[in-house]
Chains A and B, each alone.
Chain A
Amino acid sequence: MTYFVIFLGVSFILGALAVASNPSPYYGVVGLVLASVVGCGWLMSLGVSFISLALFMIYLGGMLVVFVYSVSLAADPYPEAWGDWGVMGYGLGLVLVVVLGVVWGEAIDFWEVGVVTVDGGGVSLVRLDFSGVAVLYSYGVGLFLVAGWGLLLVLFVVLELVRGLSRGAIRAV
């Protein structure tokens, strides 16, 4: 199980690398989807089921929207995947930076692989993350209101930013 979680961690890094190495946006979305699915699996294998579920639903739903956007607005005639030389150069450069950081910092201890799961504090009636998220409706209602205010604000921000349909679909100035 521990090795499976380590495998998920490595796949998570690979997902981030796939986004960071500047491919065409279609493929970048694929990297982000890989990272989010692997992240869900990671949280799930440690027992954080509710937050993992929220991540899965919201992130993959959001990624679908981003994918449609990128197809509609950022259409490249010749999309670059990771086999392309430029993208591969970026990827190798980033890997080199990470390897240099690890070697130079000597920070990583490969033998410290103990995993703390959600049941680390003993088995209880309600799982830890369930009870934690439920606090959002009682003591944490301030945070709930702040998040709601932020989403309302974004509604108005988006409306103000994309206004201008009255002057035609494509606005010259």
Chain B
Amino acid sequence: MSPFHFSFYTAFTLSSLGLAFHRTHFISALLCLESMMLSMFIPLSLWPIENLTPSFTLVPILMLAFSACEAGTGLAMLVASTRTHGSDHLHTLNLLQC
């Protein structure tokens, strides 16, 4: 594994660990998701360069579009949870626990 692979694998691992552990704010979890997507975007756009397949270059664009979709839905749910729960703190989401 070269240092370049190391840096994006580590960035993905760090942000997914950050999502898995305790987050105070919902928007902070959304930022972690975005960071996961960003650290996948870089290697996805370097892959066609390394393998000389130009037609694969459209995949990062597709991925960016869908991560924008996820971010939009996440922000809409942020608004919805602020309306119903009064804040976006993740520890207020405790109505459904077993």
Interface residues of A (CB under 8 A from B): 5-6, 9-10, 12-13, 15-17, 19-25, 28-29, 31-32, 35-36, 39, 42-43, 46-48, 51-52, 54-55, 58-59, 62, 65-66, 69-70, 73-74, 90, 94, 97-98, 101-102, 107-110, 112-118, 120-121, 128-129, 131-133, 135-136, 139-140, 143, 146-147, 150-151, 153-154, 157-158, 161-162, 164, 170-171, 173
Contacts and interface: CB of A to CB of B under 8 A. Distances in A.
B42 A42 contact: yes
Interface string B56-98: 1110111011101101110111111011100110000000000
Interface of B: 1-4, 6-8, 10-15, 17-19, 21-28, 30-32, 34-35, 38-39, 41-42, 45-46, 48-50, 52, 54-58, 60-62, 64-66, 68-69, 71-73, 75-80, 82-84, 87-88
Contacts, number: 219
B89 to A, nearest CB: 9
Given A16-B15, A35-B38, A48 B83 contact: no
Given A32-B38, A108-B2, A133-B58, 6 more contacts: A12-B7, A20-B15, A128-B54, A131-B57, A139-B55, A143-B58
